[in-house]
Amino acid sequence: MAHTLKITDIEEVTHDVRKITFEKPEGFEFEPGQATEVAIDKEGWRDEKRPFTFTSLNDEDHLQFVIKVYPDHDGVTEQIGKLKVGDSLIIDEPWGTIQYKGEGVFLAGGAGVTPFIAILRDLYKKGKISGNKLIFSNKTEKDIILKDEFETMLGDQFVNVITDEKPKGDHIFLDGFIDKDFLASQIDDFDQPFYVCGPMPFNESVMGYLKELGADPEALVFEE
């Protein structure tokens, strides 16, 4: 069943990422990591559906997405970047993407971190986040989504990788691309759950290295 829901707040997370908070329908339930099809409630856009992941938690009285805007796609996210409080989104029922299977290593490329946000927030809230690690790759430091929140939740188990500039921040460990040696230096145990989400090239290379190191990773391809 489709729900048309009013936006109650829009926050800038980075230069091209928005946190969008909106109404929650009565009785609407979902699991951390689940996504839904989303359209914009405007003439010409109601049939253009794209998947986004809930970043709020089930027990909160609102829904939230963290969305990266791609102005050069001339698509839905460009329009999302222009939305204002009071505009509406149309969402469908939730469906599964990546499921938490226990303490492990999360590897994200750019906006590919979004399916991990609710999972990590949920674990943090329950006091069960220890034993998990997030390795987060971005082009530049200003692209890092929710850096302060991940630092608070994960402490030194939050590792940043910066590919396109010389990193300056104190939480930046690698200047370059994730490779097998880097993974071997960061991870002791390859017999634990691995959760990978990012653009296709990120997933392919990271999954390849993880498998060579003996892991059995689960992946979600975020964009082709």
Ligand X SMILES: Cc1cc2nc3c(=O)[nH]c(=O)nc-3n(C[C@H](O)[C@H](O)[C@H](O)COP(=O)(O)OP(=O)(O)OC[C@H]3O[C@@H](n4cnc5c(N)ncnc54)[C@H](O)[C@@H]3O)c2cc1C
- Give whichever of 14 and 114 is closer to ligand X, judged by the CB atom: 114
Is residue 136 close enough to count as binding ligand X by CB under 6 A? no
Q: How many residues bind ligand X (CB under 6 A)?
A: 23
- Give whichever of 82 and 155 is closer to ligand X, judged by the CB atom: 82
Instruction: Compute, in degrees rounded to 10, the torsion defined by CA atoms 109, 17, 49, 7.
Output: 140
User: What DSSP line would sit under 135-153, residue for residue?
Assistant: EEEESSGGG-TTHHHHHHH
- Tell me the CA distances in angstroms from 3 to 36, 89, 145, one per residue in order: 11, 8, 28
Query: Angle between the 114-125 and 147-154 helix axes, to the nearest 10 degrees?
Result: 40
- Give whichever of 90 and 111 is closer to ligand X, judged by the CB atom: 111
Is residue 14 close enough to count as binding ligand X by CB under 6 A? no
Is residue 72 close enough to count as binding ligand X by CB under 6 A? yes
Task: State the Cα angle at 210 between 206 and 212, rounded to 5°.
Answer: 120
Nearest to 75 by CA among 110, 50, 52: 50
Q: Which stretch binds ligand X (CB under 6 A): 61-69, 124-132, 151-159, 184-192?
A: 61-69
- Give whichever of 97 and 203 is closer to ligand X, judged by the CB atom: 97
- From 7, 39, 83, 111, residue interacting with ligand X (rule: CB under 6 A): 111
For binding to ligand X (CB under 6 A), which residues are involved? Answer: 35, 50-53, 65-68, 70, 72-73, 75-78, 97, 111, 114-115, 222-224
